[in-house]
Structure 1
């Protein structure tokens, strides 16, 4: 990873907005597609000179703490809280807080590690640490929760209710910045248990768009510096048109152009439209979108126009916020990357699969039928779809459906809840629930999803 310091002008307006929210103790969600540059933005927010430029004297009173969801040892509430406390202690030391503060934070973290899997103890220790930092020491704490989409659908609703409660106990002294690929409501239903947590971010949902032309030029300069080549500035506009400023596509395009640059010849731009790495990068963007957003984009490339109904307007606004489509006065909307537009056209030309499932939307498409599923049946199908064609054990399915229960007790006594959920799912998706075509019972094991690919 490139550790060269970013310039103070990097994504200046977005960074300035986020820094102002930190000063005000407000929370925000930053939503952008895969590989658009979230890592660079997070690094920028942690960079000392950028903090000083935006926060001024307040920098000394604000402790910015990064937690990357990829660092979780296991997807449990205890591991999540333990990691928050560890990162709080780590960043306290990195920020040169007084030794007394760092020592107290380390003691709270040690109390948590002495009682593994005790989520209540971990919650209490984190609560005490934050109260002491915010209310006694007068600091403001900002948690940067990166790759948030990895943990938000997986951890219990109680986890997020508790996180909201911590913020309320330290109002305007504790805030969260989420970095994610989809909006919160697109990742799990907004139930009463998580509604208050989601409300924290509703007034500050910010789009992380691809780089503009100057930003694209900066990324190309940084890539060139690392490879010890000189970037011909006359190619920057071409790369910007091909990539739309998307960070992942910029890196792939640069890598493909590098041999030609070293040999002093012009890159062969048209071959990029058939390149496997380019298609893989476009596939990452595609997979980070909801089924509704994908359908909207297919409609755009097929007709050249966008849908104007209210439901589609919500999707339109999200895609504009993510920077995937551009809207110019007196012009039709367009995909900003010509490479990604070609990828979407290829998707549109393919036959649709007979069976598709979208966990975020809790819906599946079966031979053209769109079926919305309620909570538990959707969670069950999510697991089966991820393991389609495989025999899934009853115990594994119970653990997925009831993550808050003691997994050591599940399976020790007859548990008929799973059978009830299977029955409900079959009634929703099977043409004949009494003779299931998709959800097959595997005697002595559990269940298997059989679908035609």
Structure 2
């Protein structure tokens, strides 16, 4: 691939991105998927979008910690999308890192004047991208750390021990249920994509996640058929809404 130089390290690591959710917007499927894979190895949760319209829909539903945005896209450009991000109250403080094949200084000035936090020209080394993302997040602060315990009515979930209790009594969780609940708790009050919750990449239907959610609702909810805390977000996935 000519636009991105991949690095040889493989396998997930406990990187600086733990608990941070990034949005990667690029119309080139190969570059988008490569960036998603690399940033996931750095510990980030990563969602992808192929164009500005899809990115807007996602940002209206999900609060992202940072957006990695290609400039040259069909339809609405990355410059225009950056302007939109800055114009919306919900996203006005979301950091933006622009990527472009154009290295003209005027383009860099244009991107920064639209409100971008940083600007990288293609081709680039993903290691440098990861360092710049980390630097932006450290500079801008980001969302507060997730509390150790999440309260869900009479139930309490310990984020560190992965233990659930209800009315003071321990509730048994499978490892998959505990990890699913932790992921939802990290992103409390924000929808999480259904397929990103699937621990098994071979499960293209997401059925395993649905089964785990059903079991968790029996342990969390007073009325599992009308959930108050573990909610379904149509067309997206699930959301945890603690007290």
TM-score bucket (shorter structure): 0.3 to 0.5
Highest CA radius of gyration, 1 or 2? 1
